[in-house]
Amino acid sequence: MRSFFFTLLLTTILIDAVAQPMYPASAIPPDLLKHANAVIRVHELVFEVKNKGEAIEREHKVVTILNDEAAHFGEPAFPYYEFVEIEDIEASVYDATGKLVRNLKKKDIKDVKPLEYFINDLRLKVLELPSRNYPYTVEYAVVKKYKGLMFYPEFTPQESPSYAIEYASYSVGVPAGLNVRFWESNMPEGSKTGEATWKVNNIKAFRPPPYSTKKALKLPKVIAAPEAFSFGGVEGEMSTWQSYGKFIAKLNETQQGLPSEVEQKLAEMVKDCPDDPCKVERVYEYLQTNTRYFYIGLGIGGWQPVAASKVDKYKYGDCKGLSNYTVAMLKAVGISANYVLIRAGEREFDAQNPEFPNPLFNHAIAYVPLKEENIWLECTSQTESCGFLSDFTDNRMALVITPEGGKVMHTPVYDETKNLVKRVTEIQLQPDGNANLKSRDNYACIAQDIMAQLEALSDEVRKKYLYQLLDIKNFEVKSISLKRNKGRLPSVERQLELALPNFAAVNGKRFFVPISVLSQKLEVPLSDAEAPSFFRPNSRGYTEMDSIIINLPIGFKLEGQPTPQKLETKFGSYEQQVVASDGKLLVHRKLVMNGIQQPKEEFPAFVAFLKAVNKADNAKLVLVKESVGP
């Protein structure tokens, strides 16, 4: 039986073409069109909790699509799986004037299985509602039934800075005896209209300011989470991180056993290790050599890892299965380790709130507390260094699962003292202005990520990348070699040889030679760019050190000594010095950018620092050809 919600909605959707126009684009306030790719005309989200394990979600959304950048709204997709059923869907499309173009038909709903090469029960209902002419408007209403309640829907009225909002609302209803908690982030003043109700109006689209973090965009959001819940037939409690960790431990406790013959093989493998870090490295190497990543998410298996014995037998698993397997193998060799939940992603390092227990994690890793050191393990990579977390999981909150429950910890921070680029470059300048360059470079920690990926690829791919990367007008890659050095702070050694036609600009007897060659120019915001609410000079921080030797042709000398540059700021530092010696120019350059969060008021000074660095890097050395007597 259809709900009253849908009865009301259908009076809006199922109308004929001669009826009163709905949602004409001309009715959108002009200030909501600025910077917008789409305008959310109406978004109503209602979540009715029946008990600890059941709920009904009703969503009604009207979106005016302005251009190709928002075309995906014309094909909205609704996921469902064992714990979520889609009970009803209705939708309509309107043209720019608000005239009904058509209502959704059964043939417009595609039931698809995404990621066919993974094992999961996830499917999508995809509505095909595109139109050929912008602007046009899509309206839909969806009813979902939940049969497991670890997750409550998030309310994110403005999902992107490029979407404007006319009206949006969110309400959560729970029966007596059940408690729900809320975390409000960047919600407009006065938007909370009841104990569990929010309404927002007229939120403008905007251009993301340069150097903004995801958090600094300050997009409005409400996250709801239960205290008590039931999921997949397992009771859980989420009022604290400890209690939620107990639920995860309960899911995992039956999944960690290994066959005795496997335990014996592992013990034999580490018997000559002098210490525990050696054992961890042997087990991690075994994991990488003998398994591969393959996502498995059937039923509660989307959150419960596959049994370690099955991962060992079939030699594959997802992040949950591989991390649980690693913990089990370490236990077999006498090392206590922990399964860890984390919010992974390069821009997700500040996505979790340590003060608000919730299940919004998307990845699992392992943690090994040792007397010698604490080791974090990314268990899905077959190439990563043991104990190194890349920008996928570094510097963020992690929920470590212990027998006593969940424990909040912070993953390692890789800052400007660890993310290092060191280049020793020698340039042979020719009398005609051409040059040959040889460089021996070292990239460490986060800075080695791209080079480490290139190391496994062909010379052709490496060269193609360099042609896109290097900020040099004209060059030819003669050779490139890469050597990867693994460790807690891994590095890559690169040897590079370039031919540089017309490296020096020639004007009569003077040559104008670039002072900086392989370093990348810093991105400077446009003069009219808005300052972010807060910013980081760099997401993590890094240090570049260049030692450049320029061998001069016979008869050339430096005309005037450049003034040494030295800048010290809150954002980092820069120094540059040129010394002439025995037919050579020695250039010393060092740039340090930190990852310290700065307030909006510091942005102009930061821009001035970026400009000063680029100006110094763009400077030219002036060489003069000496006259030769008779």
Tens digits of residue pLDDT in 344-375: 998 898 899 999 999 999 999 999 999 999 99
Pairing of strands 316-317, 292-293: parallel
Provide φ and ψ at 313, rounded to 5°: -75, -45
Whether residue 486 contacts residue 492, with contact meaning beta carbons closer than 8 Å, is answered with no
Question: Please, are residues 512 and 494 in contact by the beta-carbon 8 Å criterion?
Answer: no
With a CB cutoff of 8 Å and minimum separation 6, the contacts of 300 are 82, 148, 231, 232, 233, 234, 251
132-160 pLDDT tens trace:
799 999 999 999 999 999 999 999 999 99
> Identity (one letter) of the amino acid at 23?
Y
Q: Could you tell me where the DSSP H helices lie in 456-601?
A: 459-469
Tokens of 88: 């009803």
Written as six digits, the tokens of 526 are: 């446009």
Tell me the one-letter amino acid at 384: E
HEC readout, 102-159? EECCHHHEEEECCCCCCEECCEEEEECCCCCCCCEEEEEEEEEEECCCCCCCCECCCC
Structure letter (DSSP) for residue 188: P
pLDDT of residue 573: 98
- Quickly list DSSP for 486-512: -SSS-EEEEEEEEEETT-SEEETTEEE
**Contact call for residues 506 and 384 (beta carbons, < 8 A):** no
Q: Is the pTM of this model over 0.85?
A: yes
User: What are the tokens at 165?
Assistant: 């909002």
Q: How many CB atoms lie within 10 A of CB 541?
A: 22
Positions of the chain with pLDDT lower than 50, given as ranges: 1-18, 629-630
Closest C-alpha among 24, 25, 40, 29 to residue 162: 40
Q: Which domains does the chain have, with CATH numbers?
A: 4-229 (2.60.40.3140), 240-410 (3.10.620.30), 420-625 (2.60.120.1130)
In the prediction, which pLDDT does 295 show?
81
Q: In terms of DSSP bridges, do strands 192-194 and 77-80 run parallel, antiparallel, or are they unpaired? A: unpaired
Distance CA 14, CA 582 (A): 86
What span, in angstroms and rounded, lies between the C-alpha atoms of 324 and 304?
10
Q: Quick check: 58 and 143 in contact, CB under 8 A?
A: yes
Q: Distance between CA atoms of 283 and 326, rounded to whole angstroms?
A: 8
